[in-house]
Amino acid sequence: MLLVLFWIIGSLTLTSAAVIIGKKHGVSFLIAIYSALVVMANIFANKIVLFGPTTVPAGVIVYGISFLITDAINEFYGVKEAQKSVIAGFASSIILVFGVYVTIAWTPAPFWEGQEALATVLGSTWRIVLASLISFLVSQNWDVYFYHQIRLYTKGKHLWLRNTLSTLTSQLMDTILFCSIAFIGLMPLENVIGVMIGQLVVKWIISILDTPFIYLMRYYYEKSN
């Protein structure tokens, strides 16, 4: 458990550093980082790992941190740019799915023996792909919308509130949608609920821990202006 927390904090630190570097290069830099995180999460999700008494996809940390990027884009560049980042992330996922399909379907060289392993690691069922795309679109768009609405309602105050509430609710949506579409009917309901709980615990730990990091980002952005 402590090792996982270390990985989460390390990932948040690296992502925050990327956002701070992005101040010099503009919002396109952040959108590129966000799209990369989405692609990595989709690839890493093919490995199921232990988290305490539950199991979660290995991509849960990277995907959970992607919400910090959209919140940062929303905060520093506006809601329209954050919406663009979601579109870019979705497009990246579609390209990844097609690219993986082509790679697996392409006849391997006779001497290459990794085809079966490659198909096992990267090949997802249509339900997993569909669940991933639908949950991504719904949850990420909600995160962008709700963050912006809280910011308007609080007149720009209480950064911690909009960062935490938008992420907690959007990750709840994401987890319920993904697990329901992907697993209900294929495994016992209690197992599906167990996977949901495991994912939510990790995602919510990230959403709570990332609050100091977005304050650090805002401090840097305001200071550099």
pLDDT tens-digit profile of 16-25? Answer: 999 999 999 9
Beta partners for 51?
54
Q: Are 199 and 2 in contact (CB under 8 A)?
A: no
CA 151/CA 159 separation, integer angstroms = 8
Pick the CATH number of 2-224 from 1.10.1760, 1.10.3470, 2.60.40, 1.10.8: 1.10.1760
49 DSSP β-pair partners: 56
Please answer whether residues 183 and 195 qualify as being in contact, where contact means their C-beta atoms are separated by less than 8 angstroms. Answer: yes
- What's residue 190's pLDDT? 86
Mean pLDDT of 76-93: 96
Q: What's the CA gap between 112 and 215, in Å, rounded?
A: 50
pLDDT of residue 126: 75
pLDDT tens digits, residue range 31-64? Answer: 999 999 999 998 888 888 888 888 888 889 999 9
The whole-angstrom separation of Cα 182 and Cα 5 is 27
- Which whole number is the average pLDDT over 155-169? 95
Residue in this structure with the two tokens 């339900």, named with its chain if needed: 127
Higher per-residue confidence, 7 vs 125 = 7
More confident residue, 92 or 54: 92
Most confident of 30-39, 120-129, 194-203: 30-39
Q: What value does the mean pLDDT take over residues 144-148? A: 97
In the predicted structure, residue 125 carries a pLDDT above the cut 70 = no
Using pLDDT thresholds of 50, 70 and 90, give the confidence band for residue 200. very high
CA distances for 189 relative to 35, 57, 135, 179, angstroms: 32, 18, 19, 10
Which band of pLDDT confidence, cut at 50, 70 and 90, is reported for residue 135? very high
Q: Is 109 helix (H, G, I), strand (E, B) or coil?
A: coil
Question: pLDDT tens digits for 204-220?
Answer: 999 999 999 999 999 99
pTM across the whole model: 0.90
- According to DSSP, the residues that pair with 187 across neighbouring strands are 184
Mean pLDDT for all residues in the chain? 92
Tell me: pLDDT of 196 over 80: yes
Please report, for residues 29, 215, 216, 217, 219, the alpha-carbon distance to residue 20 in angstroms, rounded to integers and kept in the order given. Answer: 10, 12, 9, 6, 10
Domains of the chain by residue range = 2-224
Number of Cβ within 10 Å of residue 192's Cβ equals: 17
CB 135 within 8 A of CB 93: no
Given the DSSP bridges, would you call strands 54-57 and 48-51 parallel, antiparallel or unpaired?
antiparallel
Task: Supply the DSSP symbol for 114.
Answer: -
What's the pLDDT at 129? 85
Question: Distance between CA atoms of 140 and 124, rounded to whole angstroms?
Answer: 22
pLDDT of residue 21: 92
Based on DSSP, count helices (H) and strands (E) in the chain, helices before strands: 9, 2
pLDDT at 193 over 80: yes
Per-residue confidence (pLDDT) for residue 128, from 0 to 100: 83
With left for phi above 0 and alpha for psi between -120 and 50, is residue 112 left, alpha or beta? Answer: beta
Q: Give residue 157's pLDDT band: very low, low, confident or very high (50, 70, 90).
A: very high
Q: What is the pLDDT of residue 73?
A: 96
